[in-house]
Amino acid sequence: MPARTSTRVSHAEAHGLGVRLELAGPGRAETTLTADHVLAAGGYRLDLDAVPFLSPAVRGALACVRGSKAPQMSASLESSVPGLYFTGSLAAPMFGPMMRFVAGTQFAARRITRHASRLSVPR
């Protein structure tokens, strides 16, 4: 079964007993595909530039996972900006898909609190 990634369905219509799809692929190349069955899966890309509460200076200082815009992190989930931690979907590229779900929160909370509690706090 052929799979097409990085492709967007721009139009779909019934065609006989199947479906005709107009697809937009990388580089905006348009193609038409007629099929008996279609399985379409939506996805998303992690992008630190879409996190509005981080200043442009902070976003610019963050190292990213190669080939993505997700933050590079240490084993304690700390980013390349000291004291800035990430969990949830943004941690998934480094720590696995479980981080996207509630089940990953206990792991993340323990790692972050263990590391953050060791930091010296100026008084």
Let me know if 68 is exposed, middle or buried by CB neighbors in 10 A (0-12, 13-18, 19+). Answer: middle
Can you read off the two tokens belonging to residue 12?
């779909």
d(CA 86, CA 90): 6
Q: Would you state the pLDDT for residue 6?
A: 78
**pLDDT for the residue numbered 87:** 92
Stated pTM of the model = 0.63
In tens digits, the chain (123 residues) has pLDDT values of 677 777 888 899 999 999 999 998 877 778 899 999 888 777 677 888 888 899 999 999 999 998 888 999 999 999 999 999 999 888 988 888 888 888 888 999 999 999 998 876 666
Q: Note the pLDDT of residue 53.
A: 92
